[in-house]
Amino acid sequence: MKRKLFLFLAVAALLAAGCCKPSGNVIKTTVPARPAGQQDVIGLTAEPIETVRIGMVGLGMRGTGAVERIPYVPGAVITALCDLLPERVEESKAILEKMGKPAPTGCYSGEKESWRALCEQEDVDLVYICTDWLNHYPIAMYAMECGKHVAIEVPAALDMDEIWGLINMSEKTRKHCMMLENCIYDFFEMTTLEMAQRGLFGEIIHVEGAYCHNLDPYWDEYWNNWRLDYNQKIRGDVYPTHGIGPVCQVLDIHRGDRMTTLVSMDTKSFNGAKITSNHTGKPCTDFANGDETSTLIRTEKGKTLLIEHDVMTPRPYSRMYQVVGTDGYAAKYPIPQYCLREEKPADQVDAKHISDEKTYEGEELKALQAGYRNTILTPELEALAKEVGGHGGMDFIMDYRLVYCLRHGLPLDMDVYDLAEWCCVAPLSRISLENGSMPVEVPDFTRGAWDRVKGFSYALAK
């Protein structure tokens, strides 16, 4: 017994010292073979659509906001509305009428799967899905089967089977399958992406993203308590896409690099059960999700991502968003700032001021950003986005770019592999947590095409 203990401690010491590497200790999930006759959809294009006819499914918080925004997008028209509750359909019809827009040719409600009729409607090119998370997958799959492009609110898929299902269906039908991740269109993130692509920060080596948002005031806004119920039943980072999406673009994920390994840790559920008891009025003693979940990811090129999730504590709202390069740094939270490598003359180096790095904040930050306007963010688009709104305008830019690319037959800013990579953090973090925080392999969702495109870019019409 003593000898076994000695050997265990010796091996642990060697590992801690970096003298050897463990092998065979990474959990792998099944990567299904690509169905015969299918090809990847890297750089997928479709026939241009002069007027993009949109069918809206789910008219709650996110759906109603989209109905109010989309009429401002050039070349977009809402031709169908669907919600389980008839009054929501009527409210959305009234919004369009007040804006002087044509009445939808199809309105569906009252039946659990009334969305099927919308997906079958002839004058719908794009099905825009804003339901609760549990219904994203079946609606998207049927819409693509019906020959429609799909845009799905976050998260688009909840487990690995759903992720692979969406990939396979997009590849089979050659239809766009995009997740409606609005945070990649935040003005700070877009400007920082431009800075990174122009080399201001040197080579990017580490990034951080999060969704830290105290949802105490908002639980009642989720129909039938579906969001709190999901957190009660499911462990892991169940809402990673706002944090991981923008930083994956900076790292050129599946455009020259890819995520390979993931490890997660979480706290106990200190608040979840109490919040559930207070919210439902019934005792809750079992709550699966920890209050705080942290996930560390490594890429093929030796870079790292740190992603956090916390909707249970009263910390200030944060998507963290930090970019660390060999020659610079960017952060949006808690205050927007940049820090660049600046060599000081030897006679100005004073150890008493060892922490006095030069940072760009306030007006200096704005002046620095002015020289790095994002490729797609024209002054006209920025002004219109801020006027229309939607999380400060980023929702509108998301809708605008989706319709713009469909109208011009261009690849979308986010493809089905982005959807897969950003959503997979949820099920893979759960696997890691349930196995003592073991490393989990992140699959190559492109099945071999991850480095065919060199660097993220926006497609623009000539």
Encode 57-126 in three state secondary structure: ECCCHHHHHHHHHHHHCCCEEEEEEEECCHHHHHHHHHHHHHCCCCCCCEEEECCCCCHHHHHHCCCCCE
Q: How much of the chain exceeds pLDDT 90, in percent?
A: 87
CATH 3.30.360.10 domain span(s) along the chain: 184-342+356-377+410-441
**What is the separation of C-alpha 170 from the centre of its chain, rounded to a whole number of angstroms?**
18
Q: Distance between CA atoms of 307 and 208, rounded to whole angstroms?
A: 6
Give the per-residue pLDDT at 351: 57
Question: Counting Cβ atoms within 10 Å, is residue 282 exposed (0-12), middle (13-18) or buried (19+)?
Answer: exposed
pLDDT at 12: 39
State the pLDDT at residue 223: 86
337 strand-pairing partners: 331
Q: What are phi and psi of 9, to 5 degrees?
A: -65, -35
Total Cβ atoms within 10 A of residue 295: 28
Per-residue pLDDT at 7: 36
Collapse the DSSP code of 211 into the 3-class scheme (helix H, G, I; strand E, B; otherwise coil) and give the result.
Answer: strand
CA distances from 153 to 58, 98, 407, 410, 426 (A): 10, 26, 21, 21, 15
CATH number at 184-342+356-377+410-441: 3.30.360.10
Which residues belong to CATH 3.40.50.720 in the chain?
A: 52-180
Residue numbers of the chain with a pLDDT score lower than 50:
1-23
Q: Which of 232, 228, 208, 233 is nearest to 295 (CA)?
A: 208
- Determine the pLDDT at residue 45: 98
> Does the domain made of 52-180 have the CATH classification 3.40.50.720?
yes
Instruction: Name residue, tokens 């005031």.
Output: 217
User: 226-233 and 272-280 are packed helices; what angle lies between their axes, rounded to 10 degrees?
Assistant: 140
Measured N-to-C along each axis, helices 61-69 and 86-98 cross at an angle, to the nearest 10 degrees, of: 20
